[in-house]
Amino acid sequence: MRAFDISIKVGNGYTSKQSKSGASVGSDVLERIIDTYPELNPLWLVTGKDTMIIDFNNSNEPLPDYGKTIDEILENKIKRIVQDQLKDFSNKLENFPTLDQISKEIQKNLKGK
């Protein structure tokens, strides 16, 4: 852990203390980790979700822009969530009947009685 602490320019034993006490790591330290280890997935680093390592060699797709700061990473994550929710909502709206269709269905049901 000492080598890791040195690599991200924090005091000796910083990560060990944070780990043992269950304390949070500051956003400035997270930014240093991201800058020092660009292959680490920032989403994984912040949330523990997705893959730990970004495989630059086996991907033909452009890398997502996670951002450079924790605020940018979180902002981009929120934007992706909202975009996904809007897409789902839009898909549901496409299958939702129009007022005209509802009116015709009501009239048809009333005539059938």
CB 30 within 8 A of CB 46: yes
Residue 78 clears pLDDT 70, i.e. is over it? yes
Q: What pLDDT digit, counting tens, does each position of 15-63 carry?
A: 889 989 988 888 889 888 988 888 888 888 888 888 898 876 665 656 5
pLDDT at 92: 85
CB half-sphere exposure, 57, CA atoms < 13 A: 1
Q: What pLDDT digit, counting tens, does each position of 80-90 carry?
A: 888 889 988 88
Give the Å distances, CA to CA, from 68 to 4, 30, 50, 52, 92: 20, 10, 18, 17, 35
How far, in Å, CA of 99 to CA of 59, rounded?
47
Does the reported pTM lie above 0.85?
no
